[in-house]
Every structure is written in C-alpha cells, then in structure tokens.
Amino acid sequence: MLIVQKYGGTSVGSIDRIKAVAERVVRSRREGNNVVVVVSAMSGETDKLIGLANQISPNPDEREMDLLLSSGERISSALTAIAINELGFKSISLTGRQVGIITDKAHTKAKIERITAERVKEAIDDGIIPVIAGFQGVTETSEITTLGRGGSDLTAVAVAAALNANLCEIYTDVDGVYTTDPGIVPDARKLDKISYEEMLELASLGAKVLQTRSVEFAKKYDVPVLVRSSFNDNPGTLVMKEDKEMEQVAVSGVAYDKNQAKITVIAVHDRPGVAAKLFNAIADANIVVDIIVQNVSSDGKATDISFTVPKTDNKKAFKITEGIAAELGAKGVYLREDIAKVSIVGVGMRTHSGVAAKMFETLARHGINIIMISTSEIKVSCIINAKFTELAVRVLHDSFELGEGKKEKVKPKRKITLKKN
Amino acid sequence: MLIVQKYGGTSVGSIDRIKAVAERVVRSRREGNNVVVVVSAMSGETDKLIGLANQISPNPDEREMDLLLSSGERISSALTAIAINELGFKSISLTGRQVGIITDKAHTKAKIERITAERVKEAIDDGIIPVIAGFQGVTETSEITTLGRGGSDLTAVAVAAALNANLCEIYTDVDGVYTTDPGIVPDARKLDKISYEEMLELASLGAKVLQTRSVEFAKKYDVPVLVRSSFNDNPGTLVMKEDKEMEQVAVSGVAYDKNQAKITVIAVHDRPGVAAKLFNAIADANIVVDIIVQNVSSDGKATDISFTVPKTDNKKAFKITEGIAAELGAKGVYLREDIAKVSIVGVGMRTHSGVAAKMFETLARHGINIIMISTSEIKVSCIINAKFTELAVRVLHDSFELGEGKKEKVKPKRKITLKKN
C-alpha cells in the first residue's frame, strides 16, 4: 500500500518524539508499505515565531509571516528525515516548493491549486522515504505561502490525492473522533469510522483532530483518512465515504460550540431587502453568520431578526447591526453572549424519522429551553443558554445511546476496507 | 549610493536588536542611499539547530543539514523585513533561491556559481528594501545549500558584486579590524583601512570579523567592504584594494594562532619523492599543512622534515606520518603541541627592507626562541613556544609601533574614497 502519514506538532514536539515518529515510519515501511511523511512544525514553534513577529509589529505583513512561519515545518521535516536515515532507511526532506504545491496568492490562508509531486514520486521509485514540510506552498511566481492553521493536514490529504495513495494517516495526540467530548461525557466512545459529511458537521469535535478544509478536500478526491494517535497503537477513526453501515445509526455524535453570540434586531420593518442589507454589511466585515431566524411579523409591518456570530466578532457585528438598524428604523438591537450551540449529527437522519423531535423532547425533559433551531440534512442544532451546555451534551449523548456501554447494541463493529489503486 | 548592509548573528540576536537594525537601515535610506540588507541567523539559532540534529545523529546527512540550517536566516530576514515595514518603509524578505544565488552541489560548504539578483534589482527599482536571508543558495536542481560558517558575509559581498554596489557594510559586534588582539594588547589600534591581501594574511585577527572566502570574493570583484559595529556609530575598517598610503607602513598588524601542532620526522632518507609521499597522504586525509621545513642533510643521506598542522588534526596527522615514516625507514616521528604561530603582516613589506630581521631581533631580545620560520610577500610567521605567545605579540606590536599612542607618528589618517558606479 502507498500510505501518506502526517504527524502533528505534538507528535514531533521533541527529539525523542521525532525518533518515535521515525520508528513508526520505518515499521510501516518494513510491513511492505511505501510511506510518504508529512510533518507539522514542532509544537509551540509556530506560536513562538508569531510571538516574535508580534513583538515587532501588531500587524505584520502577511507575505513576511508566510516566509517566517514556513520555517517551522522545514526544521521538523529535516530533523525527521535525519532520524529516518539514522535507522538505516534513506530519506529526504522536501519543502512545499520542492513537492510542487502550487497555491493562489492569498498569503496566510492560501488555497492549493495543483500539486505536481514529481520529486515525491521519484523518491518513492528510488526507495527513498520523502518527508514533506507541511502547511506550505508556493505561488506561480515563487512566493512562499502557508495554508492556514492546521494546513499540514491539508498538505497530507492533497499529497495523498495527488499520489492516489491508498490511505492518509493523520497522527495526532488523541485516539480518533469521539461521539462527543470525553471531557464532558466520560462514557464517550471512539468512532471506528465516520463519513466526510458527518466529520464536517461535527466541527467542534472533528476540527480539533482534522482541519475542516482537509476533510472537504478528502471528500472531493475520495481520500480515506485515518485519524489516530502517535502515542499508541490504537486503531483510530477512519474518515471515509458514507456507506450502508453508517446509515443504520441515526446519530453519530453530539457536538457543541460555546463560541457563539446572538444579536437580535427588534421590530424592523418587514419589507424586502432588509435582511440582505444587514447580512451583506456583516459579510463585508468578514464575519461568518451561523444561524439566522426571522419571525413572521404578527401585524405584517414589523419583524424581529435574530442571528448568531462567533463570540470573538460580536462587538464588531453589534456595531454594524446598530448602524443598519438605525437606518432601517428598527426599535433596538440586543446582544446576548451567554448562549451555546448543541448539535446532533448523523447520516442516518436521512432515513430515520423523529430524530429532531427526540432531541427537543430530551432537552425539554431536562428543563433546557431552546432559543433557536437550525437543521441540515444530517444535523440538528439548538441554541440554548450557555450554562446548560454540558448538561445538554450529556443527556443527548445518553438519549441517543452513543456511550461505550451501548456500543454492542447500537453500533456493530464496522468493517473497514480501503480502496485499491 | 547603493549599499549592501550585512548584519551578523549578534546584530539580529534579539527583537530589540532587530528593531535597531531596522532603524539603521532606514537611517541610511533617509540619507539618500539605496539599501540592500543581508542577515545572518539570530545568534545561537544555528548552533541550536545543529544541536537538535546531533541529538538524532552524530553524522546527519549534509543535504538535510542544509535544509535545516537555512531556516535560521529565513526567520531573521522575515523578522527584519517586518521591522522595516513597521517604520513605514516597504521591505520584503528574500530567500537565497528568490535572490537567485546558484551554487554547486557541495552541501554545507557550497560555492556560489552565479547570482541573478533579478528580484533584488526589481525591489530596488520599486523603492522596496530587500532583506536577503544570508548563508544559503540553491543548486540548479533546486536543492538548498549553505555556504559554510560565516557564509552570510559571502552572500553580502557576492550580492554587492552582482549589483555593482558602491559599498558592502558588514555589521558585527566589534568596531573593525585591529592591529592585534586587544585582549592581549590593550593599546591595539583599530585600522581605518586595510588591503584585501593583508586581511587574508591576518586570518587570526580578520577571520573573526570577516569570513576568509568573502575577502577573496571581494578582492576578485573589487568590492569595498566596511567592517563596523552595529552597536555604535564608529567608522569601522574599510577592506579595499591596496593603495599608495598603505605601502607607507611596513607592518599593519600582528596575528597569532595557537591552533598549531608540529610533527617532525627524524632522519628520513634524503631522496626525491619522500616529501611528496608524506604530504600527499596527509592531504588525502583533508588535513591542511601550514608550514614545512626540511633541513639539508649534513651527510647527504638523511634529513629531518618538520611541519605544522591544525591542533585539532594532530592525532590523525601523526598516525599517517608514523605509517609513512616506517615505510621510508625514518628513525622516528615526534609530535609537539605546545607551539604557536605569530605573524606580522603588511603590504609595505614589499618596499621596506629589514622587516623580518627586525622581527627576529625583537623576539631574540626577549628570549623567545624561533622554532620555524615561514614568509610570504606580505607576511613573516614564526613558530615559537606557545607559552610566549602573548609576550611575542606584545613586543612585536610595540616594536613596529602599531599602538594607539603611536598613531599620529606612524599612520597618518588614511583618506577613504569609494568607487563610483
């Protein structure tokens, strides 16, 4: 098999850890696999470099930041290649440019346009283990770019797609994706496999272990991604195309997000263009709106609009909304910060009925009031009072029988087969 | 004027120092100069990276080391560009590859083959201050190389040559080149200017402030190099083409080298090819022999050969010599480690007579025995007992009237004019 193995910052966080990574790479090689390695910067390194830059400027030039930050992965890739060499296997480190990762010009958050991977293929053909510096690329004009936080995941998935690899392994410091945050529900169960779609919807659970854009990329190119720990040999969670087995379960996980604030515009005139004006202004400020609720006005003249934004943007969003509300003659604007979003996610929702109703009923039974509701094909989200977050997660996890104790009954061990190439 | 300014590791050793460098760059720019900046890695950074690699392997692959070590200069160049931007002047950092510094394939000690410097010229034309990551280049096949210790000096001089700059300023942590080590002779005087040839011969004094290969490069392309401190505004020492004024002084400086060991082969047969056999074997082991003395044999049959090697190589050289000596039927091989070399250097020697005699006489007057002698056109070196090193340096410095107190009499203030381009 051709396997791309990506090791995150904690996995290469020290010389001893880098040696352990080399051992793991070599073990996979000895098992007969061709291995391509992608590494993040040693943990703390990127933040250290950002700290240095911020000591000089509160707003350093993004082009310079990319050249600065790309150094972290170059260091860890060279050290990892040295460690693999030391075990008697030929290895070379390759920069984003040497791999031919061509991106657009959006410094600090560049998008991959194409990957040639010529030198990676050559190395594999020559029996050499390539160690790729993650997180980075170059533009057509040879400017160095980075792919944003978690960008090494994207490097790994994109390289796996370019090489048509059998598997992309993402090594991190957790065992995989859980049915919910084990910090809140000790009974939370590691999932053996999960669909790309569920992974995307489970942002609050999934994003910690796998960058969202890399999941989208994996989905687009159908790259099976195995998330697992570099600290043990546990099997991890396979993120893959939805299959029949997955549909048997209505709910795969319970997610939550405390980084939410709600803004309500009271009694705005109910006429066409009002919502467009407001949300265009907010989008122009690069603020992502999550849930929007507009009530039908009782008198046909005025309506209330509520929406949520990331808590970090709430002051900015509030100010913009106040300006627009004044223009529109609304009665007032209110900001509420003590809210959270809890979500249940599962591809099985498409075929199971009554899932949303069960969620609402469960919350109601525990005295948790629902402030806003939002649904997608495979997700139901409720905005609730933030103080009930942990309680809501626990009772939903229990209600949908996701815990370790319920494993045998609800979720038969899923068979995992990888695509052949 | 077009000025290339190179800042060494201590000059960019902290965020405050980097800010001070930016201030200095901007000041020169405000004075009407076009400035191109070259930076070393922050002090300690390169050794830290080497230390990490050596924790993994005692003998890490040199290609990997180059990718690893080149990161240090990339970090400092990006931070310096950010600091210059912060002062309101547009600046971009450029890697060795972006500058087009093409080298041979000799990893860790690559030689520059050519420099395109297209992006540097573009930046200058656009009013942008380029900050070049020193010490690094790329091969024709895009492999990253480094230029060896002190390689950032070479980057600066080579870029200055490629741009036909008026001046290359090397900023370091000392005020310039002194007549001798001020640690030994407090009266040592900073030289206003010095010829390339003298600088090369004064290795023990000069190499600390300016890498030897960069002096050779500057000489070849006639680049005036001003060595000065980044910690004050003192005028520094200009390293330049020999001029009439320099010839007026017989001796410019007194150098010493304690990293010397002497090997003597006793009573070797005095026949053709003996020396060739010995020194070929030593050269094959990459050991550089400094001084060689062979006495004429009194009986025409056997002779003694003495030579010096770097102390760090003496065990290896001794072993090789023993082997050859046995083959040649010599009576024995002796190693002496307690020796040092003191040298007087000056382009004026070519036109002043009696300089060597004065040196020997001075040493004799202070009871210092001369073990070996070696001369070049502008240098006389004596091997002496190591314990007399400081004494010899002091008395020679005094004898040739090089001290601060003697300045007015011996060395009129040299006028410095730079070439126009």
Query: Is the Cβ of A55 closer than 8 Å to some Cβ of chain B?
Result: yes
Asked if residue A399 lies in contact with residue A414, where contact means CB atoms within 8 angstroms, the answer is: no
Task: With beta carbons less than 8 A apart as the criterion, state whether B83 and A57 touch.
Answer: yes
Mean pLDDT, range B276-292, rounded to an integer: 90
Q: Which chain A residue's Cα is nearest to B16? A: A56
* pLDDT at site A275: 85
In a domain, A211, yes or no: no
User: Do B19 and A56 count as a contact with CB atoms less than 8 A apart?
Assistant: yes
Query: Side chain identity at B387, as an amino acid letter?
Result: K
Pick from A322, A414, A316, A346: nearest CA to A180: A346
Residue B110 three-state SS: coil
> DSSP assignment, residue B250?
S
Is residue A242 scored above 50 in pLDDT?
A: yes
Task: Specify whether A151 is located in the same domain as A18.
Answer: yes
Q: Is the pLDDT of residue B402 over 50?
A: yes
Q: Do A67 and B77 touch (CB under 8 A)?
A: yes
Mean pLDDT, residues A233-255: 92
**CB contact, 8 Å: A20 with chain B?**
no
- The amino acid present at A407, given as its one-letter code, is K
pLDDT tens figures, B95-129: 999 999 999 999 999 999 999 999 999 999 999 99
Please tell me the predicted confidence (pLDDT) of residue B300.
Answer: 67
Q: Which of A141, A173, A205 is the last residue of a domain?
A: A173
CA–CA gap between residue B53 and residue A75 (Å, rounded): 10
User: In Å, how far from its chain's centre is CA B261?
Assistant: 21
Contact B142 A98 (CB under 8 A): yes
Which residue among B209, B242, B275 closes a domain?
B242
Q: Tell me the chain A residues in contact with residue B52 when contact means C-beta distances shorter than 8 Å.
A: 15, 75, 79
Cβ distance B183 to B176 under 8 Å? no
Same domain, A167 and A276: no
Residues A22 and A157 in one domain: yes
B184 & B147 share domain: yes
* B67 contacts A93? CB cut-off 8 A: yes
State pLDDT tens for residues B126-147: 999 999 999 999 999 999 999 9
Q: What's the confidence (pLDDT) of residue B149?
A: 85
Domain that holds residue A162: 2-173
**A85 to B60: CB separation less than 8 angstroms, yes or no:** yes
Residue that wins the pLDDT comparison between B181 and B272: B181
Residue B332 pLDDT > 60: yes
Tell whether A270 and A128 lie within a shared domain. no
- In this structure, the dihedral spanned by the alpha carbons of residues A200, A201, A203 and A204, taken in order and rounded to 10 degrees, is -160
Q: Which residue of A has its CA nearest to B141?
A: A98
Q: How do beta strands B136-138 and B144-146 pair?
A: antiparallel
Q: Name the pLDDT band for B392 (thresholds 50, 70, 90).
A: very high
In the structure, how many helices (H) and strands (E) does chain B have? Answer: 15, 18
CB atoms closer than 10 angstroms to residue B241: 15
Q: How confident is the model at residue A406 (pLDDT cuts 50, 70, 90)?
A: low
Q: Are residues B167 and B40 in the same domain?
A: yes
Decide if B250 contacts B352 (C-beta within 8 A).
yes
* B75/A78 touch (CB, cutoff 8 Å), yes or no: no
Query: B95 to chain A: which residues are within 8 Å by CB?
Result: 67, 144
Looking at residue A418, what is its pLDDT? 55
* CB pairs A-B closer than 8 Å: 105
Chain B closest-CA separation from residue A176 CA (Å): 29
- Domain of B187, CATH number, reads 3.40.1160.10
- Whether B15 has a pLDDT exceeding 90, the answer reads yes
Any domain includes A419: no
Residue ranges of E strands in A207-346: 225-229, 237-240, 253-269, 292-294, 302-310, 332-345
Q: How far is Cα B154 from Cα B216, in angstroms, rounded to an integer?
A: 9
B83: chain A residues, CB-CB within 8 Å? 56-57
Min Cα–Cα distance to chain A from B214, Å = 26
B100 touches chain A (CB under 8 A): no
Give domain status of residue B102, yes or no.
yes
Nearest CA in chain A to B97: A142
With residue A370 as reference, give the H or E element that holds it. Answer: strand A370-376
Find the mean pLDDT for residues A101-106.
Answer: 97
3-state secondary structure A366-402: CCCCEEEEEEECCEEEEEEEHHHHHHHHHHHHHHCCC
Residue positions counted in chain B: 421
C-alpha dihedral sign at A344, A346, A348, A349: positive
Question: Which of A77, A83, A144 is facing B56, going by the closest CB pair?
Answer: A83
Percent of chain B with pLDDT over 90: 78
Cβ–Cβ below 8 Å for A85 and B144 = no
Q: pLDDT at residue A405 above 80?
A: no
Residue B256 — very low, low, confident or very high, per pLDDT cuts 50/70/90? very high
| Contact of B115 with B74, CB cutoff 8 Å | no
Chain B window 173-232: which residues touch A at a Cβ cutoff of 8 Å? Answer: none
Do the domain assignments include residue A398? Answer: yes
Whether the per-residue pLDDT at A203 is higher than 90: the answer is no
- Distance (Å) from the alpha carbon of A14 to chain B's nearest alpha carbon: 9
A236 in any annotated domain: no
Q: Do B54 and B115 belong to one domain?
A: yes
Model confidence pLDDT, tens digit, residues B73-90:
999 999 999 999 999 999
Task: Assess if residue B419 is contained within a domain.
Answer: no
Answer yes or no: do A160 and A28 share one domain: yes
Q: Which of B242, B276, B309 finishes a domain? A: B242
- Cβ distance B52 to A81 less than 8 Å, yes or no, reads no
Residue B54 lies in a domain: yes
Answer whether B183's CB lies under 8 Å from B19's CB.
no
Chain A interface includes B14 (CB < 8 A): no
Question: Taking the model in full, what pTM does it have?
Answer: 0.85
Query: How many distinct structural domains can be found in chain B?
Result: 2
Q: Count Cα neighbours of B419 within 13 Å in the Cβ-side half-sphere.
A: 16
Sign of the C-alpha dihedral computed for residues B358, B360, B361 and B365 taken in this order: positive
User: What SS3 state is found at A60?
Assistant: coil
Predicted pLDDT at A208: 75
Look at A79 and B142 and tell me if their CB atoms are within 8 Å. Answer: no
Chain B residue closest in CA terms to A95: B67
Asked whether residue A205 carries a pLDDT value surpassing 90, the answer given is no
Question: CB count, 10 Å around CB of B351?
Answer: 9
Select the residue from B37, B50, B54, B56 to test the A interface by mutation, using most A Cβ atoms within 10 A. B56
The CA-based dihedral angle spanning residues B87, B91, B92, B98, taken in that order and rounded to the nearest 10 degrees: -150
ipTM: 0.83
B379: domain CATH number? 3.30.2130.10
B351 and B298 housed in the same domain? yes
In a domain, B280, yes or no: yes
pLDDT greater than 60 at residue A160: yes
Asked if A6 and A154 sit in the same domain, the reply is yes
**Both A155 and A9 in a single domain?**
yes
Is A67 close to B97, i.e. CB distance below 8 A? no
pLDDT in tens, A16-32: 999 999 999 999 999 99
Cα separation, A152 vs A170, whole angstroms:
10
**CA–CA gap between residue A240 and residue A223 (Å, rounded):** 7
Q: Do A71 and B75 touch (CB under 8 A)?
A: yes
State how far the alpha carbon of B194 is from the alpha carbons of A103, B2, B247, B254, in Å.
Answer: 50, 22, 11, 13
In this structure, the answer to whether residues B163 and B113 fall within a common structural domain is: yes
Of B19, B57, B71, the CB nearest to A82: B57
The answer, yes or no, to whether residue B304 has pLDDT greater than 50, is: yes
